[in-house]
A and B are shown apart, each in its own frame.
Chain A
Amino acid sequence: MIYNDFTSGDSFIHRFDPRIKILIALFFSIITALSNKIPAILSFFVLAIILVLISKLKFKILFSRLTIVNIFILFIWFILPFSYPGKIVFHIGSLQASREGLINALEITLKYNAIILCNIALLSTNPIFQLTHAIRHLGAPDKFVHLFFLIHRYAFVIFDEYKCIRDALRARGFRPKTNFFTYRTYAYLVANLLLKSYERSEQVHRAMICRGFTGKYWVLEHFALKWRDIFVAITIFTAITTLAIIQWMKIL
């Protein structure tokens, strides 16, 4: 589930204009993903850590989040070094690990973590409704804005419905086992949730129509860009661009 664990802080990053944060996160993610030199990627990783430190996030929660996402990365370390051709560094039985494969796995790990850290530092430090407004102000289509917010809003409601059905199953003595009956019961549960979600979406739409909704999402309050925001934005954009130029001009 989506919980607002990092939104309550009062760091400099928390107060930063969310529109700029989204743009920086996007720019950072694209440039980092396209980088292919270890020193450059390492610099982006350090930059992401600096952003995390400035935003004073709760480390315990942050590490637990990182651990979950790095489980996927672990598979890369099991596969990539042994499947990439290049200079052999070591071998386990008949499996040979190449230097290029190891470097590639390291690059992916650093890139992945840098992007996640930067996004957590910048985006999860805002409540979801501020982000919704920010993407609306950045000119995203209304349908996209609605999807973005309504998915978050009703994920909780549908999760509650799931808990309700699950508890009802338990109350009637259901114990999940590895058998056809269990699979069928779970299939019923998912089908039920889908139907309920569909019915709910119809009701929500009706409620919106009754309050004059015609497809346009109006905003009550507008963001005010401060000089401080512009200054910080220019600094971070310059840092990212400089790193990008240095690596692609083959200075590194």
Chain B
Amino acid sequence: MDENIIIDIKRLSFGYPGKPELLDKFELRVKKGERLGIIGPNGCGKTTVFYLIMGLLKALHGTINILGRERSRENDFIEVRANIGFLFQDSDNQLFCPSIEEEIAFGPLNFGYKGHQVKDMIKEVLNTVGLDGYEKRIPYTLSGGEKRRLALATILVMKPKILLLDEPENGLDEDAVDKFVEILQEPGLSYIIISQNRDFLKRTTNTLYTIKQGRAIMAK
């Protein structure tokens, strides 16, 4: 098996109860260093793909291989979550801690890092997202753009192998989007971005897919 493959989804089917199947024999393969975009109309299953990768939803059929292993049970996904950073569409859902340093520390502490290690990690990641010196600030008092960058910091701190970004530019002004794009230029990052914004995807990704009739196809 190619060690560079991070995510390999094969013949995956999924549908919400009482509704027609949203994904039908869906296939997607993402390699290390890839910067992939998924574009598509509302309700075509873009966010659902992310939920399935993170183990937040269970597939009806098909296989999800992540980091060389098939993942199907809850326990399989614990390792996945330590290695894949998921940025939610609404940062308010992701930011719930009382201070920024605790917000960033939440993941590393859950995965067993010690306090002094975490402090260094916080400093480094705040520098990456341009929020130096914000350690003691309260997350919900930040602006929309700052919240989004903080949410990104909370997942970057885990040094994930790949990022799943769900409409990261949504609701941000031009400046905030520019700053976000700048962070994504960092070498060595691999990610999948879901977005409705073709221009944003052009700036940030090098392969573009769309979901049609439950399947991922290369977009023009």
A-side residues, CB < 8 A to B, are 127-129, 132-133, 149-150, 153-154, 156-157, 200, 203-204, 206-214, 216, 218, 220-221
A216 CA / B109 CA spacing, docked (Å): 10
Q: Is the CB of A203 within 8 A of B98?
A: no
Q: Is the CB of A153 within 8 A of B81?
A: no
B-side residues, CB < 8 A to A, are 51, 54, 56, 78, 81-82, 86, 88, 90, 92-94, 96-99, 101-102, 105-107, 109-111, 115, 118-119, 138, 140, 154-155, 158
Residues of A within 8 A of B118 (CB): 220
Residues of A within 8 A of B155 (CB): 211
Residues of B within 8 A of A157 (CB): 92, 140
Which of A129, A149, A150, A211 counts the most chain B CB atoms within 10 A? A211
A65 CA / B110 CA spacing, docked (Å): 40
Q: Is the CB of B86 within 8 A of A129?
A: no
Which of A208, A214, A216, A218 is close to B96, meaning CB atoms less than 8 Å apart?
A: A208
Q: Is the CB of A132 within 8 A of B98?
A: yes
A151 to chain B, nearest CB (A): 11
Residues of A within 8 A of B106 (CB): 208, 211, 213, 218
Q: Is the CB of B107 within 8 A of A200?
A: no
A63 CA / B46 CA spacing, docked (Å): 53
A128 CA / B97 CA spacing, docked (Å): 11
Residues of A within 8 A of B138 (CB): 127, 129
A218 CA / B117 CA spacing, docked (Å): 14
Residues of B within 8 A of A206 (CB): 51, 54, 56, 88, 93
Interface of A is mostly: helix
Q: Is the CB of A220 within 8 A of B98?
A: no
Interface of B is mostly: helix
A220 to chain B, nearest CB (A): 5
The verdict on A220 contacting B115 (CB below 8 Å), with A132-B98, A211-B106 known, is: yes
Q: Is the CB of B93 within 8 A of A200?
A: yes
Which of B92, B105, B110, B115 is close to A213, meaning CB atoms less than 8 Å apart?
A: B110
The verdict on A218 contacting B109 (CB below 8 Å), with A156-B140, A211-B81 known, is: yes
Which of A127, A204, A212, A214 is close to B93, meaning CB atoms less than 8 Å apart?
A: A204
Closest to B122 in A: A220
Q: Is the CB of B110 within 8 A of A214?
A: yes
A213 CA / B93 CA spacing, docked (Å): 14
A133 CA / B110 CA spacing, docked (Å): 17
